[in-house]
Structures are given as structure tokens and as C-alpha cells.
Chain A
Amino acid sequence: MKKNFEKIYTNPVFSGFWEWNFKTETAFISPDFRTLFNLDACAAIDKPYLCSSIILKEDEPPLLACLEEHIKSGGKTPFYIKSRYHRPDKSVFSAVCSGCVTEWDDAGNPVRMIGCHTSCLEDSLKSDFIIENADEFKTVFSLLPNLICVISREGYFTKLNSNWVDLLGYEIEELKKKPFIDFVHIEDLKATSEEVQKILSGKKTVNFINRYLKKDGSVIWLEWNAVLSKNQTQIYASARDISIRKKFEISLIESEKKMHEDHEKLQASFKEKEILLRELYHRTKNNMQVICSMLLLQAYDTDDKNVQNILGAMESRIHSMALIHQKLYQSGNLSNISTYEYITELAQMIAENYGGKEKNIKLACDIDDFSLNIEYALPCGLILNELITNALKHAFLASSSDGGTVYLAFKKRPEREIFIEVRDDGQGAIKNFDPARNAKMGLQIILAIVEHQLEGNVIFENIKGFSCAITFKEKDIKSLYEIK
């Protein structure tokens, strides 16, 4: 006897899960993905969200537009779109592609994305597959990998396929005895009850996810499609085990969370080190200031002009170094200072201390503003201190009120060359000035720093005043920690 059985959904709903890395352009795809598209194990898939080799050409632009919207919105607009694909046998089927970007770079560009393609129920229903008799139905039914069931309006299983026994470990009778909700994970009870109410009101459930408890107490993740029967007395439902996918998703989320936590810890550690370094610079500056005060007190305590001059010169040198530490802890960058700010302040301070204004001596500065590492800033500060002090003390006759000008240049030239010049229009040094024989302590310090430490050149000129020009090349600075 031929019975006209209802068309049933024989092509089980498959979801192919994937992950795509935008930066490395590498993909991970689950075995189900290949099953969904009937692809060989070795068939190559580029950009799994697109599947450009099998998607219908006219469906490609809307999919890409949908993805662009998702990315533009920073993930707020869902990436969810139905597209059509070719199978190797040339047949066409529809699948819903959904996904979301799970990792972004600092510029807001996507780094990683996870998603899945799910075959469409409606599409499968277009199939002409008609069950001819009860035996055929039973055979087909038994082959389905899904959990199939019928649930009464009262909430009890009335029919279940054998997969329930295999997957959950309960016998069919055990499952029928209790309301189906008793097998649902406690955290999913509310969502499941709400979903059932939706089905009972006539809405179809597609891809609803909840957790069930197995007989051994372990948890299984299920994804459901369900619909109310025509006479509204029972619910037809089909579920598939997505535990592997969920496990993968959870581990992804956890690893993301851990990455975020590690990043936070690293940031906190950087902040702490920055505070410590600022504190250290501050204390160094304060200690240098105390040394300066001690030198000045000592100078005050003696009537010997020579001793006073020596102590004053020492104080000035230490002060030029203290100023750098002051600039370092005030700057955003803890290893570099602004040359313009530092040198201008240093020059003005020296001019003030050596009575530049009273002697009518002008300072003409031409200073390039760039960021200079402390390893260069300290020697440059000491050099400038010596040269400016020298000019203010010796270039102009103390008896004359005519004054003069001290020219100061600090320039950055191509190929990281730094040029320093301090020139005056004063009386000049002694005739036939020879730095090797005539240089006093201040100029000796300059020669030692430039030639020994900076590996640069010093040129003294004794024409129309005295000048000193220094050139050296800035090199990459290794931190003391790296050198160790």
C-alpha cells in the first residue's frame, strides 16, 4: 500500500565552521565545512567566508558588502547573509554565512574572524525526495545523524530516534518519563522555555543553541531547528551535536580573554616602571641640587677668589646635568629631551649667573629642535656649559661696558650629524692659541668629551673673537640593560 508520506527534511542541517586570519590570510575549516560543500579533503578553500570558487558570482557582491558593513561598524552590524553555492556536481544550494570579527588591531582593522556556513532548511525542502513507504521512512530516519524528536504540548518527548540513546546515554523510556526540560542545563532553562513559547505561538526555531545533560553528568551542546505541527498539538524538532564547535569557540574566547589580561598586566608593569624612572630622575635632580648648594655654601665660606671661581664652575657643570634630569622627568619620553627647550634654558641660566646682562653681552641662539637621547644630551650640556661660560668670563673686557654677542648654534645635519658652535665677537684668545698647550680645564673637558666619548671633531678659531665648532655623529643608543 502506497502512503503519501509528508515530505520530510532528509538532508540534515550542516554547519561548516571556520576561522580566517586577515593578516596572515590563513584559514582553519572544520570537517563539516567540507561535508557541507561536498568538497574533497584536499580541495583548497581561500577566504572561507566567501568561498569565491563556488559562490554564485551574483551573490558575491552582497556578501562582501555585508562583511564590509560588519567591519565598518566595528562588529556591531551582524555579518549574516544567505548565498548560493555550486556543488561539484553543478547543483546549486543555499547556505547562510554568519560570523564575527573576534580580534582587531590598534588601527581598528580586523585580524581574526570566526564564522560558519549553515545549509538552509527551506532550500532542502525544495527537494523532491518523497518517502514512498514505512520501511523506506524507517531506513532513512535511522540514517540521520541528528537527534530527531517529537514533543507534546505538555513538554514530554513522545517520539525519539535512536541517536538520543547513543548521544545522551539514556534509554528512550527514561527520556520519555520526565519533561524534556529536566534534561536541559540549568543555565539554559529560561532561554529554552522562551524558545518553546515562541514555537507554540507558531514561530519556527532555527539554529537555537542550548546545553543538555548526559546520563553521565557531562554536558552536550545542541543546535536546534523546530516547528509546531499543523494541528498545533506537538513540536517536531531536530538537533545536532555542536559540542566540538562550542569547545573551539570557548577556547578561542578564553585565549582572547587571557591575551587581554596579559596585555593589561604588561601595561600596568610599563606604567609602574615609568613611575619609578621618573621618581629616579627627580631624586637624581634633587641630589644634584643639594650638591650645587653645598658648593655655593663652600664658595661663600672663603675669601679666596680663585677657590670661589673653581667652586662656581663646578656648581655650573652639575647644574647643567641636573637640568637634563629635570627635563627628562617632565617629558613624555623618559630617555630623550627637546634640544630647543633644554639648550635655551641652559644658555639663559649661564648668562644670568655670569652677569651677561650687567656686562651687556647678548646671546644669539640658532637651535634646531629635535629629540636627543640622554646619552648625548648630558655631554652636549657639559660642552655648552663650558663654552658659554668661557665666552661670558673671558671674551669681553671686564672694564668695558661695550659688551658683545655670544653666538650659539646647535644643528642637526644630514646623516645624523650634530653640529655645535659657540662663537663670540670679543677679544679672542692669546696669540698663537694652541689647544694642546693652552687649553685650561674647561677646554680640556670639551676635548675629552668630543674626541673620547662622542668620537667627533673640535675646531677652535681665534679670528675676530674666539670660536669652537664641534661635529659628531649620533648613533643608535643601546640601553644599559641591553649592553649587560
Chain B
Amino acid sequence: MKLNDLKVMIVEDEALAALLLTKFLNKLGCNVTGAVANGNDAITKADETKPDLIFMDIRLADEIDGITAATAILEKRKTNIIFMSAYSDKGVVEKAMKLNPMAFVNKPLTLEKLKNLIESSPLIEKTQ
């Protein structure tokens, strides 16, 4: 799969962080299918757009957190998850790792960090 074939979805409740991530991913050539702010919308949108990769914030504004939303999405369809968190505590990381995500990264994400992450992902390597 080429980078611009990669359908990416963003789940981030902080608008500016979502905007920044969209800009970074677009610059890298990814196809951002949408950015949603809460867990319920993430589940619906993932069903509609069937992304190859989801950037999922752990803490979300509404009652469903990122791990719960990712669990619901993965129950319906296999996809790749990258968890993001501004502040990781051990318990949360352990809980997230049980879902076997592609990565768990600390926010803020820089363009450099994101580039390394995407380019080294098996998703890209397999098809290149």
C-alpha cells in the first residue's frame, strides 16, 4: 500500500490537536478520511469509511474513552490503531496494549515523529 492509499481516521477531542494532526498526515501524503471528537462518532465513522489506520486519543470528552471505542471498532472489523495520550499512566498503557495496537505514542506529535511512525509501519512496508 502506498502512503496516499492509506486511509487514516483521527479521533481527537481537542480541535486544534486534530487540525494539526490532519495537516501533518496530509503533508505526509496520507488520505485523512475524517476527524471525529468522541467515541460514539468514531465507531460510526469507522464503520462508514473503513480506515486502514486510526489515530485514537485515549482521553475523550464524552463517556466513551479511546480504549472502549477502539475495542468496539475492532469487534466489527480488523484495523490498525495508534493510541495517543498527552500523559500516559502505567495502568492506561497496559490496558491499551491488550488491544495489540500498532503503537502507543505520547502527544504532542511532531511531524518528524509522525513521519518515522508511518514510514516504519508494516502497513507501508508490506506493499512497498
Contacts of A433 on B, CB cut-off 8 Å? none
Interface flags for A268-305 (1: CB within 8 Å of B; 0: not) read: 00000000000000000010011011101100100000
CB of A294 to closest CB in B, whole Å: 6
A297 touches B19 (CB 8 A): yes
Contact call B108/A297, Cβ cutoff below 8 A? no
A355 with B14: CB separation less than 8 A: no
B111 to A300, Cβ gap below 8 A?
yes
- Alpha-carbon separation in the docked complex, A345 to B90 (Å): 11
Contact present for B87 and A292 (CB under 8 Å):
no
A323 interface residue, CB < 8 Å from B? yes
Interface residues of A in 330-367 (CB under 8 A from B): 330, 345, 348-349, 352-353, 355, 358
**Cβ-defined contact, A289 with B24, below 8 A:** no
Question: Does A240 interact with chain B (Cβ within 8 Å)?
Answer: no
B113 touching A294, Cβ below 8 Å: no
The yes or no answer to A112 lying at the interface (CB within 8 A) is no
- The reply on A162 being an interface residue by CB < 8 A is no
Inside 8 A of B23's CB, which chain A residues have their CB?
297, 300
* Interface contact A352-B108, CB-CB below 8 Å: no
Candidate in A294, A296, A355, A358 with the most chain B CB atoms within 10 angstroms: A296
Tell me if B110 is interfacial: C-beta within 8 Å of chain A: yes
A97 to chain B, nearest CB (A): 57
Please give, as numbers and ranges, the residues of chain B lying within 8 Å of A312 by CB-CB distance. 110
Scoring B residues 2 to 20 as 1 if CB is less than 8 Å from chain A, else 0, what string do you get?
0000000000001011011
Size category, A interface: 20 to 34
Most buried by A among B20, B24, B111: B20
Return A338 CB to nearest CB of chain B, in Å: 12
Enumerate chain B residues within 8 angstroms of A300, measured Cβ to Cβ.
Answer: 20, 23-24, 111
Tell me whether A117 is interfacial, beta carbon within 8 Å. Answer: no
Query: How does the 8 Å CB contact mask read for B87-125 relative to A, with 1 for contact and 0 for none?
Result: 111000000000000000010101111001000000000
Which residues of B (1-43) have their CB < 8 Å from a CB of A? 14, 16-17, 19-20, 23-24
Q: Are B20's CB and A297's CB within 8 A?
A: yes
The number of residues on chain B lying at the interface, defined by a beta carbon within 8 Å of a beta carbon of chain A, is: 18
Known contacts: A326-B87, A349-B106. The answer to whether A293 contacts B116 by CB under 8 A is: no
Instruction: Given A290-B14, A300-B24, verify A315-B87 contact (CB < 8 Å).
Output: no
In the bound complex, residues from chain B placing their C-beta under 8 Å from that of A297 are 16, 19-20, 23
Which of B16, B86, B87, B116 interacts with A358 by CB under 8 Å? B116
- A295 smallest CB distance to B (angstroms): 9
Q: Check if A211 is an interface residue, CB within 8 A of chain B.
A: no
Known A-B contacts A326-B86, A352-B113; the reply to A293 vs B16 at CB < 8 A is yes
In the complex, chain A residues 194-215 whose Cβ is within 8 Å of any chain B Cβ: none
In angstroms, Cα B108 to Cα A345, docked, is 14
Flag if A292 contacts B108 (CB, 8 Å).
Answer: yes
Contact yes or no, A289 B14, CB < 8 A: yes
With the chains together, A319 CA to B106 CA distance in Å?
12
Residue contact A294 to B106, C-beta cutoff 8 Å: no
Rounded to whole Å, the gap between the CB of B44 and the closest CB of chain A is 25
Q: How far is the CA of A355 from the CA of B116 in the complex (A)?
A: 10
Known contacts A289-B17, A297-B16; decide if A353 and B110 are in contact (CB<8 Å).
Answer: yes
CA separation between A315 and B14, bound complex, in Å? Answer: 16
Expressed in whole angstroms, the minimum distance between the Cβ of A291 and any Cβ of chain B is 9
Query: How far is the CB of A313 from the nearest CB of chain B, in Å?
Result: 13
B19 and A289 form a contact (CB under 8 A): no
- How far, in angstroms, from A348 to B95 measured CA to CA in the complex? 20
Most chain A CB within 10 A, of B19, B88, B108, is at B108
- How many angstroms between the C-alpha atoms of A348 and B89 in the bound complex? 13
The answer to whether A296 touches B20 (Cβ under 8 A) is yes
Contacts of B87 in A (CB 8 A): 323, 326, 345
**Complex: how many Å from CA A64 to CA B49?**
81
Cross-chain contact B19 with A352 (CB below 8 angstroms): no
Can you list the 4 inter-chain pairs with the closest CB atoms, starting with the nearest? A293-B16, A293-B17, A326-B87, A297-B20
Q: A322-B86, A355-B112 are in contact. List 14 more A-B contacts (CB 8 A).
A: A289-B17, A290-B14, A292-B108, A293-B19, A296-B20, A296-B108, A300-B20, A300-B24, A319-B108, A323-B87, A326-B87, A345-B87, A353-B110, A353-B113
A-B contact pairs, 13 of them (CB 8 A): A286-B14, A289-B14, A290-B16, A293-B14, A293-B20, A293-B108, A296-B20, A296-B108, A312-B110, A326-B86, A345-B87, A345-B88, A355-B113
